[in-house]
C-alpha cells in the first residue's frame, strides 16, 4: 500500500493536493522552484491563497514537507503527481515547456532509483502530449522503459479555484488515463483512499483521458453560452425571465440545471483556453469544431455587447460602480474577468469608474491601469455611485439592501447580471433596477410581438 507521495508544483492546485493527501494520511513531499513557497510549506503555512489551504497544511504539517530537489522527492516517494503550468501559446495549443523540464528532472531521479516509480501528470495537455511529448523524456533521462522501470498516468482534476480542496475530496468522478494496468491500478487505489464520496474512477488510454479533460470544459462553456443566448431572448418578450426558463429546462435529466443560469460571459484561466485548444487540435487532425469555435466567438463578443446595452443608462457625470472584479465569486483571479473588462472599457469611454471586490482588489489593480479607482470597501463604492453593476454573486453583494443603495434626491440605476437582488430591489421607486435576462419593458416587448404576429397574419392572409 502506497504511503509516500510527492507533488511537483506547489501552485493553487498542487499545494491543495499536497494538503489533501496529508489530511488523508499520506506522507507528502512537495517540490517547487520557488524557494519562498518551499519555506512557507515547511513552516506549515500556505504558499498561495486558496480556501482552507492554510488550515489543511497547518493541521497536517507533520506529514508535509517541501524541497526544491526533484531527486529528493522522487527518492522519498513511490508516486509523483506533476502539476505545473501548461500555458496556452499563440495558436491555442498548450506549451509543454514546464512539464518537459519537470519530467527531465524526475527522469534523472528515476534513473538513480532501484524500485518502481509512478509518474502522474495532472496538468492540462492536448491528446498525444503525454505519450509522445513526455514519456520519451522520462525514458531518455532514466535509461528505463515505461511500464517496466516506471509507470505513467494522466489524471487531471476537475476543480474550481476557491473550492479546490472540497472539489478534490468530493469529485463527480476521477479521470485516469493509464499507460498500462499496473500504473492505473496503483493510482485508482490511492484515489479510493483520498476521495470521500466513492466517486467512480473512469479509466482509459492516455489519449482518451487528455481529450476528455478539455471536452468537459468545452461542453460546460457551450452550456453557459446557450443560457446567455436564452437570457437575451427573455429580455425581448413580455414577462421574460431566464430563471423561469432555466429552471424548467434544467429539470430535464438530459440537460441539468448547473451552468444554465444566463448572466454574463465566462472567464478564468481554464474555460476560455480549453475551448480554443479543442479547436486547435481538431484543425491539426484535419477536422473542424464549429460548435466550439462559435461558443468562443460568442463569449468574446458578449462583454462588448453588454457595454453597448448599458451605455444608454450612463449619463454624463455619472459614477459607475463595478461590484465584482474576479472572474467568479470568492476568488482572487481576474484572468478573462468580465468585471475587469467592463470597468476598463467604461473608463476608457469616459465614465468615472469605481470598483470593489471582496478578494480580488489587488489582482485587479495589476490588471487595470488608467482611471479605474479600486476602493477598499463596498460602502465607499456605493456612496460614490449613481450606476451600479453587479457582476458576481459574492455573498457580500447578496446582502445589499435598498438603504445601502439609495441616495437622498437621487435615483440610482442598478444592473444586476445574476438577479441576486431581484426580490429586494424590483419595484422600488428610488432605484432603476435592471435584472439581466428578464423583461424590463413589457409594453415595448408586447408591441414587438404584436408587430411580429401582425406581420405573420398579413402574410398568411
Q: What share of the chain is helix, strand, coil (3-state, %, to 5)?
A: 45, 15, 40
- pLDDT bracket for residue 427 (50, 70, 90): confident
Mean pLDDT, residues 357-383 taken together: 92
Q: What is the CATH number of the domain that holds 374?
A: 3.40.50.720
458, pLDDT greater than 90: no
Q: Say if residue 318 is in the same domain as residue 255.
A: no
- Tell me whether residue 52 is in a domain: yes
Residues 400 and 263 placed together within one structural domain of the fold: no
Alpha helices in 240-358, H assignment, sequence order: 242-251, 271-284, 290-310, 338-348
Residues 45 and 186 in one domain: yes
Looking at residue 4, its pLDDT comes to 98
Average pLDDT over residues 150-174: 94
Tell me the backbone φ, ψ of residue 20, rounded to 5 degrees.
-70, -45
CA distance 400 to 403: 8
What's the order of all strands across the beta sheet hosting 201-204?
A: 64-67, 27-31, 4-8, 79-82, 117-121, 150-154, 174-178, 201-204
Q: Under a CB-based contact definition with an 8 Å cutoff, are residues 240 and 419 in contact?
A: no
pLDDT of residue 225: 96
**Residue 153: inside a domain:** yes
Task: Please indicate, yes or no, if residue 209 is contained in any of the structural domains.
Answer: no
Domain boundary among 301, 336, 359: 301
Least confident interval from 120-129, 303-312, 337-346, 415-424: 303-312
Instruction: List the CATH number of the domain containing 247.
Output: 1.10.1040.10
Domain total in the chain: 3
In a shared domain, residues 158 and 233 = no
Its domain, for residue 227, covers 215-301
For residue 32, pLDDT beyond 90: yes
* 453 inside domain: no
Res. 455 pLDDT band, cuts 50 70 90: low
Verify that 81 and 146 share a domain, yes or no.
yes
Residues 196 and 281 in one domain: no
- Nearest Cα neighbor of 76 from 140, 36, 120, 30 is 30
The reply to whether 54 and 157 lie within a common domain is: yes
How would residue 317 be classed by pLDDT, with cut points 50, 70 and 90?
Answer: confident
Alpha helical stretches, state H, 48-155: 53-59, 70-75, 97-111, 135-142
Q: Is the domain of 112 the same as that of 28?
A: yes
Task: Please give the pLDDT value at position 253.
Answer: 95
- Ramachandran category for residue 198: left, alpha or beta (phi over 0 → left; psi -120 to 50 → alpha): left
Domain boundary among 301, 331, 359: 301
In a domain, 451, yes or no: no
**What does the pLDDT look like over 34-66, one tens digit per residue?**
999 999 999 999 999 899 999 999 999 999 999
Domain-embedded: residue 446: no
Asked if the structure places residue 448 within a domain, the reply is no
Query: Do both 385 and 414 map to the same domain?
Result: yes
pLDDT at 370: 76
Residues 55 and 23 reside in one and the same domain = yes
Residues 198 and 219 in one domain: no
DSSP-assigned beta bridge partners for residue 389: 322, 415
Backbone angles phi, psi at 435, to 5 degrees: -95, 110
- Mean pLDDT along residues 265-278: 90
**What amino acid positions are annotated as catalytic residues?**
270
356-365: average pLDDT? 94
Tell whether 461 is covered by a domain: no
Same domain, 67 and 186: yes
Average pLDDT for residues 186-209, to the nearest whole number? 96
Give the confidence band of 365 by pLDDT, cuts at 50, 70, 90: very high
Instruction: Examine the pLDDT at 349 and tell me if it is beyond 60.
Output: yes
* pTM of structure: 0.90
Cell matching residue 241? 425571465
pLDDT, position 461: 47
Mean pLDDT of the region 71-79: 97
Amino acid at each position: 500500500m502506497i504511503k509516500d507521495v510527492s507533488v511537483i508544483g506547489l501552485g493553487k492546485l498542487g499545494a491543495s493536493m499536497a494538503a489533501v493527501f496529508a489530511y488523508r494520511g499520506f506522507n507528502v513531499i512537495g517540490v517547487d522552484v520557488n524557494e519562498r513557497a518551499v519555506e512557507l510549506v515547511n513552516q506549515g503555512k500556505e504558499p498561495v491563497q486558496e480556501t482552507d489551504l492554510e488550515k489543511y497544511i497547518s493541521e497536517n504539517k507533520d506529514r508535509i514537507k517541501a524541497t526544491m530537489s526533484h531527486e529528493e522527492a522522487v527518492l522519498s516517494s513511490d508516486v509523483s503527481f506533476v502539476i505545473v503550468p501548461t500555458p496556452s501559446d499563440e495558436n491555442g495549443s498548450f506549451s509543454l515547456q514546464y512539464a518537459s523540464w519537470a519530467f527531465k528532472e524526475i527522469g534523472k531521479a528515476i534513473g538513480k532509483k532501484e524500485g518502481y516509480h509512478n509518474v502522474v501528470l495532472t496538468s492540462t495537455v492536448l491528446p498525444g502530449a503525454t505519450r509522445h511529448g513526455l514519456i520519451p523524456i522520462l525514458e531518455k533521462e532514466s535509461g528505463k522503459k515505461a511500464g517496466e522501470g516506471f509507470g505513467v498516468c494522466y489524471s487531471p482534476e476537475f476543480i474550481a479555484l476557491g473550492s479546490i480542496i472540497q472539489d478534490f475530496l468530493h469529485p463527480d468522478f476521477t479521470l485516469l488515463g493509464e499507460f498500462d494496468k499496473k500504473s492505473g491500478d496503483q493510482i485508482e487505489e490511492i484515489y479510493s483512499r483520498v476521495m470521500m464520496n466513492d466517486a467512480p474512477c473512469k479509466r482509459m488510454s492516455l489519449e482518451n483521458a487528455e481529450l476528455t479533460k478539455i471536452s468537459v470544459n468545452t461542453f460546460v462553456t457551450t452550456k453557459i453560452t446557450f443560457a446567455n443566448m436564452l437570457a437575451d431572448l427573455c429580455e425581448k418578450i413580455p414577462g421574460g425571465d431566464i430563471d423561469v426558463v432555466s429552471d424548467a429546462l434544467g429539470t430535464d435529466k438530459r440537460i441539468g440545471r448547473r451552468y444554465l443560469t444566463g448572466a454574463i460571459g465566462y472567464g478564468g484561466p481554464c474555460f476560455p483556453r480549453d475551448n480554443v485548444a479543442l479547436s486547435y487540435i481538431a484543425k491539426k487532425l484535419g477536422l473542424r469544431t464549429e460548435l466550439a469555435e462559435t461558443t468562443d466567438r460568442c463569449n468574446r463578443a458578449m462583454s462588448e455587447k453588454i457595454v453597448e446595452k448599458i451605455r444608454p443608462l450612463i449619463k454624463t457625470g455619472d459614477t459607475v460602480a463595478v461590484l465584482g472584479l474576479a472572474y467568479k465569486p470568492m476568488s482572487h483571479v481576474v484572468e478573462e474577468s468580465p468585471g475587469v473588462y467592463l470597468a476598463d472599457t467604461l473608463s476608457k469611454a469616459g465614465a468615472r469608474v469605481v470598483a470593489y471586490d471582496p478578494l480580488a482588489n489587488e489582482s485587479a489593480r495589476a490588471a487595470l491601469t488608467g482611471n479605474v479607482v479600486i476602493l477598499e470597501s463596498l460602502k465607499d463604492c456605493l456612496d460614490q455611485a449613481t450606476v451600479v453593476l453587479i457582476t458576481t454573486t459574492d455573498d457580500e453583494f447578496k446582502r445589499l439592501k435598498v438603504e445601502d443603495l439609495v441616495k437622498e434626491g437621487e435615483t440610482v440605476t442598478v444592473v444586476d447580471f445574476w438577479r441576486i437582488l431581484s426580490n429586494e430591489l424590483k419595484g422600488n421607486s428610488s432605484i432603476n433596477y435592471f435584472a439581466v435576462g428578464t423583461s424590463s419593458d413589457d409594453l415595448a416587448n408586447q408591441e414587438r410581438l404584436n408587430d411580429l404576429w401582425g406581420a405573420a397574419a398579413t402574410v398568411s392572409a
